[in-house]
Chain A
Amino acid sequence: MSEMSVTNAIELAGLHKNFKEVRAVRGMTLSIAPGEIVALLGPNGAGKTTTIDMILGLSQPSSGSVSVYGMQPRQAIDSGRVSAVLQTGGLLKDLTIEETARYTASLFAQPRPVEEVLKRAGISGIADRRVGKASGGEQQRLRFAMALLPDPDLLILDEPTTGMDVEGRRAFWASIRQDADRGRTVLFATHYLEEADSYAGRIILLRHGLVVADGTSSEVKALAAGRTVRATLPNADEAELARIPGAESVEVRGDTVLIHASDSDSVAKYLLTRTSATNLEITARALEDAFIALTSDAAPAGETANAGGVQ
């Protein structure tokens, strides 16, 4: 099947959003293919929510374009192709959980049954509880249930687990993951690194309204921090090792060599083919290091670093 002919779930081109003096999004261009699970990762103020609002048609770009399955955002919502769990979307405290879902379901032409979405969000047991009496996590699950009603092809989640305890967060992601197994495209914003690392197939790192890294979790990690190649190599020649293309620094500890590399593949290949190295190990540094390196104000801005192998 030719990839080119498939309409992307999300297509952003030269997207800008200014709020008076603040340039919240400064030229974002990216595509998300159907079926991808993508994390929009970045510190507060990186432009995650602003970008999501534009994808959903809740705000208009200052310039640039947004298309969702080839449609205008509003059209995509009207036709039920996209839905979202928002940080700020309010619920009516005086309705019960089930009433809220029924109300929302009645607005869609072909909704999934209310019982089904409540079950999938794990809140069938508290269907009769007033929303005002439900916990933050339960309310978030209700928003998730509401987002499932149109059976969307694309589900967008904006910091969905903010304010949940660890257990609630885990349970929430378990239901999302179960759901994504059905082939739904998922885009979620988060500032929790481990959420991006564990649940996304692709991470888009934002800083000051720009994409600073885009790739798989390990590509993003490697991009900022490189990898460390470790091997057993008696009588290593430190100067020779330092000349391997892609090696950045060499450390020799007895029979063990540690090479920090921007291109770990090339270093590994060299060690295995040109030396007698054994027990070779390649480790990426934690995503947190990449996150700090790429999003701190010391990092160079205005440049888009593209991780290898990613369109």
Chain B
Amino acid sequence: MTAQSVQPAPVQPPPPRSAPWRGINPTVLRLEIRRLLRNRRTVIFALIVPVVLFLFVGTNKAYARLPDGHGNVSLFLLVSMALYGAALATTAGGAMVSLERAQGWSRQLRLTPLGPVSYILIKTITAMILGLSSVIAVFVIGRLTGVPEAYHGYTYLWFASAASVWVGSLVFAALGLFIGYLLPSENVMQFLGLVMAALSFAGGLFFPLNRAASVLQDIAKWTPMYGLNQLVHAPLLGGTIDIMWVVNAVAWFGIFTAGAVYLFRRDTARV
């Protein structure tokens, strides 16, 4: 192939230094989380806003007396706010690629052995860690304000709700990545904050959909937050799971992932 095969010189072959999967290591993840926490806007959106919203609407004593499924209305709102926070957090985490493309960091990384797939995985894992922090923050506040008493001993429901919120927020990590590749801008989160608020209203997160006009209800069923919102409340409310909720969540996850993969491929081919 090259002159090397006929080379008689006693040159020591260099040790294999390639390590394309090394990118997913504790150093990188620790620094990525540190970056997110240094971003004041991200911290406010992902950790403070959902907690404050819950403290405003969820701790009303009247709600605590209203039973709702296995719990009460306070608990229902706690789960809603956790989903809102986790969705914002994972979207912000995924959308970091936008900032990194705008600043030229993704080009700098191409001078290292880090593979593009590893890069995407790092962003996803970071987004999910931030999402988990958001879920934990909301649930801890809920516990401190006395909501868990409403579980009447159903400790596993507590964890089932938190886990389903967290896993479900993967849909929004994909949305963040998609938008991150779509809009190379340093201010993408300002835009995404509005989008998330709109999607949360449409998905019935802030406002019961059954009180909306029927045409709005029909439209809402097709938006990305709808299926997840139903699913994450299922452990609390009991009852059967509508297959359409699952279809909604999985379909949106598929759409966002496909969009991110398509734009990502175009991005790496272009430069």
Contacts and interface: CB of A to CB of B under 8 A. Distances in A.
Query: A and B, one complex?
Result: yes
A75 B115 CA distance: 12
A70 B31 contact: no
Interface string B1-45: 111101111000011111110110101100100110011000000
Contacts of B239: none
A58 B271 contact: yes
Contacts of B8: 5
Interface residues of B, number: 38
B267 to A, nearest CB: 13
A104 interface: yes
B103 interface: yes
B159 interface: no
Interface in A1-55: 1, 4-7
Most buried by B among A56, A59, A99, A109: A109
Interface string A96-137: 000100111111111000000000000000000000000000
Interface stretch (B105-113, B165-173, B255-263): B105-113
Interface string A232-252: 000000000000000000000
Contacts of A81: 14
Given A5-B9, A78-B113, A102-B31, A92 B105 contact: yes
Interface string A167-201: 00000000000000000000000000000000000
B112 A86 contact: no
Contacts of B27: 102-103, 105-106
A234 B39 CA distance: 80
Contact of B28 (A79, A83, A106, A109): A106
Contacts of A301: none
Contact of B103 (A75, A92, A109, A147): A92
Interface of B: 1-4, 6-9, 14-20, 22-23, 25, 27-28, 31, 34-35, 38-39, 100, 103-105, 107-114, 271
